[in-house]
Amino acid sequence: MVTKSNYTSDGVQAAKSVMLELHRIHGEYADHIVVIGGWVPELLISQKAEPHVGSMDVDLAINHWSIPKGGYKTILELLKDHEYFPGKQPFIYHRTVTVGSKEVTVQVDFLAGEYEGTGKSHRTQKAQDLRPRKTRGADLAFENPEILTLECVLPGGGKDKAKIRVSSIPAFLIMKGFALGDRLKEKDAYDIAYCLRNSAGGLDQIIRDLEPLVGNTLVQESLNILSEKYADTDTVGPVHVANFQEITDADERELVKRDAYERVQALLRGLGKE
């Protein structure tokens, strides 16, 4: 089980550095790349009241139906030029970064929406010479992403910054619903709870943003998963929130589980899911 103590400062710092580098080297394709996954809460939500743990990897959604076939260099050529090396799957790449005296290897997953592109029998899309993995709900990431400036130290040293596109919180929550249904990873439930608790405008704003999408099949499917995983305080969603935060005191665990359960139930009620 991976919990918050596994998210080391070195690992998080390395991943953030890689995220910036990826946007700097792929600048001409920036309009077609959106940050999804575990970095979204920290990037979009104020960290003053309750800091998020961040992430130790980077998930990028590639808009396979709009990205140019190739500019001066393709995405893959640029990755190779900057010391990224392939993983065991065609959509995974790694970058080794030195943080202090430690070497940290960061995993980068290139993902894509499911619609259009390759047929249903294929688990990847084609984007230039890259093969991003089809990810349920990722199509929503390209609808009204947030644009912000990321500033930190690059892997090779030196502060830098770049404009990046980040999945909106509503789209992120829908994707996390699918993640809860597809795997057992405690941080998924933690990320959901964190967003519902800390997002600007609160739960009411999230509901307002999701209301126009309620008729979308992807949204309905994800909400059904959330309904199942948060059916009561002892189902996997609330339990994983407490587990990720390493809460052992019985009374505190019950409070955390109850809070996670009630917030998701309020979201579902607000969107007409009883």
Distances (CA, A) of 146 to 157, 166, 216, 241: 27, 5, 21, 26
Are 183 and 156 within one domain?
A: no
pLDDT in tens, 101-142: 999 999 999 999 998 867 777 899 999 999 999 999 999 999
Are 191 and 143 within one domain?
A: no
Are 188 and 73 within one domain?
A: no
pLDDT in tens, 1-18: 999 999 999 999 999 999
How far apart CA 225 and CA 240 sit, in angstroms, is 15
How far apart CA 106 and CA 109 sit, in angstroms, is 10
What crossing angle do the helices spanning 217-229 and 169-182 adopt, rounded to 10°?
60
Which structural domain, as residue segments, surrounds residue 53?
A: 4-167
pLDDT in tens, 211-256: 999 999 999 999 999 999 999 999 999 999 999 999 999 999 999 9
Q: Are 42 and 52 in contact (CB under 8 A)?
A: yes
Q: Which residues, in sequence order, are CB contacts of 251 under 8 Å at separation 6+?
A: none
Q: Look up the pTM and report it.
A: 0.95
Are 43 and 179 within one domain?
A: no
Can you give the pLDDT at residue 134?
A: 97
Distances (CA, A) of 11 to 39, 56, 205, 235: 13, 5, 32, 30
Are 223 and 113 within one domain?
A: no
Are 130 and 34 within one domain?
A: yes
The mean pLDDT of 54-78, rounded to a whole number, is 93
pLDDT in tens, 67-79: 998 778 999 999 9
Can you give the pLDDT at residue 117?
A: 66
- CA-based nearest residue to 272, from 217, 207, 218: 207
What crossing angle do the helices spanning 217-229 and 236-244 adopt, rounded to 10°?
70
Among 116, 145, 167, where does a domain finish? 167
How far apart CA 93 and CA 19 sit, in angstroms, is 12
Q: The dihedral of CA 107, 79, 96, 100: what is its sign?
A: negative
Domain count, the chain: 2
pLDDT in tens, 21-53: 999 999 999 999 999 999 999 999 999 989 999
Are 106 and 49 within one domain?
A: yes
Q: Are 93 and 133 in contact (CB under 8 A)?
A: no
Q: Is 85 helix (H, G, I), strand (E, B) or coil?
A: strand
Can you give the pLDDT at residue 188?
A: 98
Are 177 and 152 within one domain?
A: no
Are 106 and 175 within one domain?
A: no
Specify whether the backbone of 37 is left (phi greater than 0), alpha (psi in -120 to 50) or beta: left
Among 145, 167, 189, where does a domain finish? 167
Q: Hunting for tokens 């010391």 — which residue is that?
A: 83
pLDDT of 274 strictly over 90: no
Are 89 and 178 within one domain?
A: no
Are 143 and 191 within one domain?
A: no
Distances (CA, A) of 194 to 98, 205, 230, 260, 264: 30, 15, 15, 9, 11
How far apart CA 168 and CA 16 sit, in angstroms, is 19
Among 129, 149, 167, where does a domain finish? 167
Are 203 and 157 within one domain?
A: no
